[in-house]
Amino acid sequence: MSSAQIIRTKVGIVGGGPAGLMLSHLLSRAGIDNIVIEKRDHETIRNTHRAGILEAGSVKMLTDTGVDGRVLTEGHRHDGIDLRFNGVSHRLDFQDLVGESVWLYPQNEVFVDLAVARKRDAGDVRFSVTDSDVLDLTTDVPKMRFTDAEGQRFEVHCDIIAGADGSQGICKRAIPADERTDHFIAYPFAWFGILTEAPPSAPELIYANSEHGFALISQRSERVQRMYFQCDPNEDASVWTEDQIWDELQKRVDGPDGFTLKRGRIFEQMVLPFRSYVCEPMRYGNLFLAGDAGHTVPPTGAKGLNLALADVLVLFEAIDSFYAAGSRELLEGYSDTTLERVWKAQNFSFWMTSMLHTREDQSSFERKRILGELNSVATSRYGQQYLAEAYTGWPSA
């Protein structure tokens, strides 16, 4: 292997997904040099399909900073959701309740927009790196090492390293075990997810609680839809036939109104186990975690990407203050500031997940209590407002 070439930059960013690219974009706009490294190649990230509900604040971040306006032209604005239980739908009108909306726009499309923006602005983003490492994190010159796609070894000397490399990345694990607390909970169920060539079954998302388990009826476009139903984490998606999948989805949304799903060819089916996790603190020396590197949430509350972008905004403002005013105050407070929102999001995601799913060992009392909770939300303007505010996104601090 060739000897390492040393590069100097202000901020090293580990992770080239939406969080890392957005931080790089914001820093570059402020004149702060940075380098992004990512172990995956561009096409792998672009073709990784994940959920895509964007809060109003996330949309504003994309459009107001000159990333791209495709979220507004290609995405779909949703002004509410349906809570469906006992076979009856209850619409929550976000505009009426809190004056906000969300946008249906897949996460991989957010990545595409950010990658195009970084290339347009001559950003230094290096995909397909190997042998990456971070070190000297508690010194004034933290470093990241990697081998690029051509086999050249590099050592990047930074002032700050941002760990935006996801839940399986290296940055979180670079914090010594005795310096961090790993808060974790595993859920006893997973989601069986499909992509199907079919017209939308509904104009907005339907969150359905039934005695057979949870179902989410979502959309992707006019021709492709994404849907999920609750299943065992050990379920083998490959053994299910299309008719079995559609029948399972349908029985979870059946009701006296005769609501019927619009069926089509299923071209992707998978099982998605999920969990809640928080790394505390989200800072170690001059390493700062953002997004899934520091926390994961179940998808029920649509918080994952939005929470990552909220982290990025807090971190950008702290770094910008450091270089513009020479103050470390916001950097020192980064972990406490972002964790306040993280724990609100964890609470909301846990609440939505617990309220909408059905455990196999659930007693009749628990089943009736959950229906009472859903009814309390659906019939109370204050209950609806809490859900609507959390779902569309809390204001930035």
C-beta separation of 259 from 86 below 8 A: no
Of the candidates 25, 39, 303, 357, the residue annotated as catalytic is 303
Instruction: Count other Cβ atoms within 10 Å, centred on residue 178.
Output: 6
The tokens of 160 are what? 């700050």
Q: Is 386 a catalytic residue?
A: no
Closest CA to 303 of 78, 53, 101: 53
- Helix segments in 201-290, DSSP class H: 242-253
- 120, exposed or middle or buried, with CB in 10 Å at 0-12, 13-18, 19+? exposed
**Taking the CA atoms of the chain, what radius of gyration do you get in angstroms?**
22
First-residue to last-residue Cα distance in the chain: 47
Separation of alpha carbons 258 and 247, rounded Å: 14
Q: Is 344 a catalytic residue?
A: no
Strands laid side by side in the 206-209 sheet: 88-93, 80-85, 206-209, 215-217, 224-231, 181-197, 265-280, 295-296
Could you identify the residue written with the tokens 């050990």? 234
Of the candidates 18, 25, 39, 78, the residue annotated as catalytic is 78
C-beta separation of 20 from 161 below 8 A: no
Separation of alpha carbons 339 and 317, rounded Å: 16
CA 196 to chain centre: 22
What Cα–Cα distance (Å) separates residue 275 from each residue in 7, 76, 170? 38, 28, 19
Q: Is 39 a catalytic residue?
A: no
* Strand duo 124-126 + 265-280: pairing: unpaired
Q: Is 277 a catalytic residue?
A: no
Of the candidates 298, 299, 334, 357, the residue annotated as catalytic is 299
Of the candidates 105, 187, 334, 391, the residue annotated as catalytic is 391
Of the candidates 207, 228, 284, 334, the residue annotated as catalytic is 207
Number of C-alpha atoms within 13 angstroms, CB side, residue 270? 10
Separation of alpha carbons 360 and 190, rounded Å: 13
The tokens of 274 are what? 């999920």
The tokens of 180 are what? 């961090």
Could you identify the residue written with the tokens 């109003």? 56
List active site positions: 78, 207, 299, 303, 391
